[in-house]
Amino acid sequence: MSHADTFHPFARVLHWLMALAILSMLFVGAGMVTSVEARHAWLLAIHKPLGITIFVLALIRLGFRLTHPAPPLPADMPEWQKLAAHASHWLLYGLMIAMPLIGWGMLSAGNYPVTLGAGLRLPPILPSDAALFAWLREAHRYLAWLFFLTFLAHIGAALMHGLIRRDGVLQSMTGGRRSA
Amino acid sequence: MQEPETRRPPAHAVWRWALIGLVVAGFAAAFGYVGGWLAPGRLTPKRIIDALQANGGEHPGFRRNHAKGICVAGRFESSGALAAYSTAPLFAPGDTPVVGRLAIPGGNPYAADSSVPIRSFALRFDLADGEQWRTGMNAMPVFPVSTAQAFYDLQLATHPDPATGKPDPAKPKAFFAAHPETAAFLAWIKTAKPSASYVTETYQSINAFYLRDAAEQRHAVRWKVVPEQPASGDGGPAAGDPDYLAADLAKRLGEGPLRWHLQMVFAAEGDPVDDATKVWPADRRTVDAGTIVIDRMQAQDDGPCRDVNYDPTILPRGIEVSNDPLLVARSAAYADSYLRRTSEEGHLPGTASPKENHP
């Protein structure tokens, strides 16, 4: 297995850490806005600090990715699949960075204190504006949907590479042995 | 890459595709369940606000409950007496600006002030360090119900019959019979009368909270704001004026600032901290935290309280929520109401526009 065929170990660690964080985040978000029970409060308490964590990790990851190119996709992949792969990866990067910023901005526009727990509070990044709050809140909802659907496509495609094509693309991120 | 020419189709391809489909569908179903789409029986913030909206009517841009109200502003002058019990910086001696709202319950912003015997007072304290304390209080001693589900069921039971415009009397009767926890509220409201003024009322947090002191000790409390203004002497509401509360407030503010005392009531051992339907005995230790001074008012259409969600779980350090289930439910439901009215204000696609002029 050559190094050129797998992601850098640091990129792999970041990928799996963020996969867990982002998937948790999507479920936390969906659960918290549809509950009036006690879990609404503790899900909200997780949502904000986890969102900022994802934001920071996403910036580190983006920086690393721009300086450490991903292994090339198999040469025999159809062009449309390659295009879909690249587009969906950059969409995921965009959402990882945009979603926390929109959440932060939306709380700022709603004039809510942006509390992260343990006495930590972030400064507002937007002026107090109710209409802006509403736009950002709805953007947060619909982009979360887009995020989840992109995740489904991502995991479906990853499994297709690993189980059907067996072309080493899945292993480039799992770090396991490439199939023969 | 190197090996595409040597790759053969996988064995059991159908099963492999099925496994992929199962994984993707499994994630989608789990998300659908958590997000409520596959759990239609769950009580959600949306359903609570839908029920309030069904009872109060469609009034774009307005709160879905306590729709009729007035913005007020002023300051909180802390006495310092509460600083020993809470690390919240606003309880140290000194002033904290407040943005408040006086209102009546119900979803109709044009309801007559005499239509309900309850008034409410919401406050946002803007602490110097950027923290906020938001509280929504009602001029009544207890809440009718102790859970979100019961509150929702009460809205359904009091939903006006489209034919008569009034609730079917059998439904509230059946509701109250099935909810003995409403007894204290029913006993109180039997003799409650709509006050002629906002400023002579005592407003109560009803839900309990915890204060946290510098030694990390927790103190269960409820609070109330008690007016300095005497209850008598204003001659009652002007006959035929459905908006007498606003007129009264303007008249009194013209004469000078209005004052309430913020009183913290400390629970004794055994007092219910998670049940808003139960009163605490009247002899509980009370600390006067300071004076709320209101010196100006503004119509809510363009006043500073309009875009404030008085979510009672927004608290500074030194004040914490209790396990009262109504607090979380209020937070979740207020957020939904807030999104609806701000979406209408912002003319988001698919929302009704607020009326520019009120009848």
Q: Which of B48, B313, B338 comes nearest A41 by C-beta?
A: B313
A131 in reach of chain B (CB within 8 A): yes
Domain containing B129 equals 65-330
pLDDT of residue B226: 97
Q: Tens place of pLDDT for every residue, chain A, 180 residues?
A: 445 689 999 999 999 999 999 999 999 999 999 999 999 999 999 999 999 999 999 999 999 999 999 999 999 999 999 999 999 999 999 999 999 999 999 999 999 999 998 889 999 999 999 999 999 999 999 999 999 999 999 999 999 999 999 999 999 999 865 443
A30 in reach of chain B (CB within 8 A): yes
Shortest alpha-carbon distance between residue A9 and chain B (Å): 21
- For B260, phi then psi, to 5°, come to -130, 150
Exposed (0-12), middle (13-18) or buried (19+): which is B253, by Cβ within 10 Å? middle
Boundaries of every domain in chain A: 3-174
Please enumerate in sequence order all residues whose Cβ is within 8 A of that of B264, keeping only pairs 6 or more positions apart, or say none: B82, B85, B211, B221, B222, B223, B286, B287, B289
Chain centre to alpha carbon of residue B300:
17
Q: Which of A34, A113, A138 comes nearest B348 by C-beta?
A: A138
pTM above 0.90, yes or no: yes
Q: Which of B66, B159, B179, B219 is catalytic?
A: B66
Q: Across the interface, do A167 and B343 touch by the CB < 8 Å criterion?
A: no
Shortest alpha-carbon distance between residue A3 and chain B (Å): 13
Q: Has residue B263 been placed in a domain?
A: yes
Chain A residues closer than 8 Å to B19 by CB: 159, 163
If you count residue pairs, one on A and one on B, with CB atoms under 8 Å apart, how many are there? 137
Rounded to whole angstroms, the Cα distance separating B114 from B130 reads: 38
B128 - beta bridge partners? none
Residue of A nearest to B348 (CA): A135
A168 in reach of chain B (CB within 8 A): yes
Q: Where are the beta strands (DSSP E) in B79-234?
A: 94-104, 120-126, 132-138, 203-204, 209-212, 218-227
Three-class SS of residue B39?
A: coil
pLDDT of residue B357: 47
Rounded to whole angstroms, the Cα distance separating B162 from B26 reads: 43
Q: How many residues does chain A have?
A: 180
Rounded to a whole number of angstroms, the CA Rg of chain A reads 18
Q: Which of A26, A36, A75 comes nearest B31 by C-beta?
A: A26
Q: Has residue B18 been placed in a domain?
A: no
Rounded to whole angstroms, the Cα distance separating A146 from B198 reads: 48
Exposed (0-12), middle (13-18) or buried (19+): which is B150, by Cβ within 10 Å? buried
Could you state, in chain order, the average pLDDT of each consecutive group of 10 residues for chain B (359 residues)?
58 92 97 92 95 93 96 98 97 98 96 94 96 97 97 95 86 96 96 93 97 97 95 63 93 96 97 96 97 97 95 96 97 97 92 67
Residue of B nearest to A163 (CA): B16
* The token pair that represents B264 in the structure block: 């913290």
Chain B residues closer than 8 Å to A72 by CB: 1
Rounded to whole angstroms, the Cα distance separating B139 from B197 reads: 12
Shortest alpha-carbon distance between residue B17 and chain A (Å): 8
Q: Has residue B46 been placed in a domain?
A: no
Q: Which of A36, A119, A160 comes nearest B332 by C-beta?
A: A36
Q: Which of residues 72-101 of A touch B (CB under 8 A)?
A: 72, 74-76
Q: How many residues does chain B have?
A: 359
pLDDT of residue B273: 97
Shortest alpha-carbon distance between residue A31 and chain B (Å): 5
Shortest alpha-carbon distance between residue B10 and chain A (Å): 6
**DSSP at B316:** -
Rounded to whole angstroms, the Cα distance separating A130 from A110 reads: 6
Exposed (0-12), middle (13-18) or buried (19+): which is A63, by Cβ within 10 Å? exposed
Rounded to whole angstroms, the Cα distance separating B273 from A42 reads: 19
Within 10 A of B60 (CB to CB), how many other CB atoms are there?
Answer: 15
pLDDT of residue B1: 45
Helix (H) or strand (E) holding B332: helix B325-345
Domain spanning A3-174: which CATH class is it, in words? mainly alpha
A154 in reach of chain B (CB within 8 A): no
Chain A residues closer than 8 Å to B17 by CB: 164
Q: Across the interface, do A38 and B333 touch by the CB < 8 Å criterion?
A: no
Residue of B nearest to A167 (CA): B4
Chain B residues closer than 8 Å to A125 by CB: none
Whether B66 sits among the annotated catalytic residues: the reply is yes
Q: Across the interface, do A164 and B34 touch by the CB < 8 Å criterion?
A: no
Shortest alpha-carbon distance between residue B332 and chain A (Å): 6
Spatial contact of A125 and A105, defined as CB atoms under 8 Å apart = yes
Q: Which of A5, A34, A113 comes nearest B130 by C-beta?
A: A113
Three-class SS of residue B138?
A: strand
**What is the domain count for chain B?**
1
Q: Across the interface, do A134 and B317 touch by the CB < 8 Å criterion?
A: no
What ipTM was predicted for this assembly?
Answer: 0.92
For chain A, what is the mean pLDDT? Answer: 93
Helix (H) or strand (E) holding B126: strand B120-126
Per-residue CA distances from B130 to A106, B309, B323 (Å): 17, 17, 26
> Which single residue is written with the structure tokens 């929302």?
B351
Three-class SS of residue B232?
A: coil
A118 in reach of chain B (CB within 8 A): no
Within 10 A of B91 (CB to CB), how many other CB atoms are there?
Answer: 28
Q: Across the interface, do B307 and A111 touch by the CB < 8 Å criterion?
A: yes
Spatial contact of A126 and A108, defined as CB atoms under 8 Å apart = yes
Report chain A's terminal Cα–Cα distance, integer Å.
11
Q: Across the interface, do B317 and A119 touch by the CB < 8 Å criterion?
A: yes
Rounded to whole angstroms, the Cα distance separating B25 from B47 reads: 27
CATH of the domain at B80: 2.40.180.10
Rounded to whole angstroms, the Cα distance separating B342 from A117 reads: 26
The amino acid present at A65, given as its one-letter code, is R
Q: Across the interface, do A130 and B317 touch by the CB < 8 Å criterion?
A: no
* The token pair that represents B80 in the structure block: 């310092």
